[in-house]
Amino acid sequence: MSRTTKPYRRFRARGHGEGQADGLQALRELNARENGAPGGGGAPPAAPPRRTGEGLPRPRPSRDERRRLRELQRDGRPWWSFRGLGPGGWVARGLALLLLAVLVWGGLGYMALDGAVDEANGKITPSARAALDDAPGGMLGTPQNTLILGVDTRRGQTRSRADTILLMRTDPDAGRIRYLSIPRDYRVDLPGQGAQKINAAFFFYGQAGAIRAVKRLTGLPVHHIIVIKFAGFPTMVDAVGGVTVSNPTALVDCPYEAGRTVSFPAGRIELDGARALEYARARQGDCGGDFGRALRQQAIVAALKSKVLSFTSLPLAPWRGADVVRSLQTDIGTIDMAKMGWLQARLEQRPDDRILLSGEPQMIDGISFVVSTNPDQNEREIARFIARD
């Protein structure tokens, strides 16, 4: 027999003729048993009849049918339930909940700030209120000057001196905030005291005396006052989680109180309350004297403002602001405090908006003063402070 050339083998049941038929019948019976048939032989039982539409995709309900279905689902449900709402209903309910959350946040924040402002307002003396100038208009519409004083009590004394003297001008029309620093050793004449450092005005005459001394020196009106006690300054900075400032020049081994020295690297530095106080007060040695310290104090004030009003701090801004205000003495009411916060967030402050009243350090009768030797220069600095450009 010759070898086949086909790629497969033909299947043949064992035997031939009648044996082949018996083999096919055996295969049919085996197939029937595997398919669950009760007995062998014949075709497997037919599948049950398919229901009408079974296995076919259901048609999408029309818009009217969906609306009627939602109406049925809404029937009898509580007003606050989201059951049966369409996309528009979900959006409307979500916006309503967001508005409610904002109103609750605003109400609670206002209550916290109002309580803190009441405390701060109670620390301003009647004579200081009388020394302030009336604002020419609303805070959001007219330029206003706020005197910021940082006061400290020396060892063995019960009265404080103003070691930080800073005028802040908010100008909504110009869209700017400017600062004018006055060195604490600036030589001025105080009524009944003769030639004194300007920081002694607070020592002799309190809040009102400091207001009047700044007005006489600069010729500018003072509409508001903020007094910060250095003893509470670290708590105020820590309340907002510390501040970040840009230090232009490294400060190395600056003499500080109790025989200590402090150092700060150049560049952006993170400061907690205690370190911020050291940064704001260091002035001796190679640490810039009163002029360098005044610029660093401006930087601390700006950093504190930015931290309270930053986007990430916005949810806690009223409570952080309340913690800061509680450490202050100020005549500014709750509504105007909120307006000032808005202005601090919206108005621009440029590097050249930090102005320092210039003078020359001199020793007079054994006392170190800063003396004005160029009145024209002082006038230009004050004019730049109040400029509307």
| pLDDT band (50, 70, 90) for residue 38 | low
Q: Is residue 176 in a domain? A: yes
Q: In this predicted structure, what is the pLDDT of residue 328?
A: 85
Q: Considering the domain boundaries, does residue 136 fall inside one?
A: yes
Q: How does strand 267-271 pair with strand 243-247?
A: antiparallel
Tokens describing residue 375: 């009145």
Give the pLDDT score at 134: 95
The more confident residue out of 290 and 357 is: 357
**198 pLDDT tier (thresholds 50, 70, 90):** very high
Residues 155, 157, 161: CA angle, nearest 5 degrees:
95
Could you tell me which residues are beta bridge partners of residue 149?
A: 165, 227
Asked whether residue 131 is domain-assigned, the answer is yes
Q: How far apart are the first and last CA of the chain?
A: 115
Q: What is the pLDDT of residue 36?
A: 57
Q: Which of 170, 204, 165 is nearest to 185 (CA)?
A: 165
Range of the domain at 251: 113-386
Q: 85-94, 156-165, 368-377 — which is least confidently predicted?
A: 85-94
Query: What would the pLDDT profile of 201-232 be if each residue is shown by its tens digit?
Result: 999 999 999 999 999 999 999 999 999 887 77
Confidence of residue 55 (pLDDT cuts 50, 70, 90): low
Residue 97 lies in a domain: no
Domain CATH number, residue 304: 3.40.630.190
CB atoms under 10 Å from CB of 315, counted, come to 11
How many C-beta atoms lie closer than 10 Å to residue 386's C-beta? 16
**Is 282 inside a domain boundary?**
yes
270-281 pLDDT, tens per residue? 999 889 888 888
Confidence of residue 236 (pLDDT cuts 50, 70, 90): confident
Average pLDDT of the residues in 142-161: 82
CA atoms within 13 A on the CB side of 103: 6
Task: Retrieve residue 37's tokens.
Answer: 């048939």
Q: Is 236 exposed, middle or buried (0-12, 13-18, 19+ CB in 10 A)?
A: buried
CA distance 83 to 352: 59
For the residues 114-127, what does the mean pLDDT come to?
91
Does pLDDT of 41 surpass 60? no
Report the domain count for the chain: 1
Q: Answer yes or no: is 82 within a domain.
A: no
d(CA 206, CA 20): 126
Per-residue pLDDT reduced to its tens digit, 65-119: 777 766 666 666 665 566 556 677 677 778 888 888 888 878 888 888 888 889 8
Residue whose pair of structure tokens reads 């048609």 in the numeric block: 59
Q: Which of 61-65, 194-198, 241-245 has the lowest mean pLDDT?
A: 61-65
Tokens 């600036």, located at residue:
186
SS3 179: strand
**45 CB neighbour count, 10 Å cutoff:** 11
299: alpha, beta or left, given left = phi > 0 and alpha = psi -120 to 50? Answer: alpha
Q: Are 356 and 370 in contact (CB under 8 A)?
A: no
Does the residue 38 lie in any domain?
A: no
142 located within any domain: yes
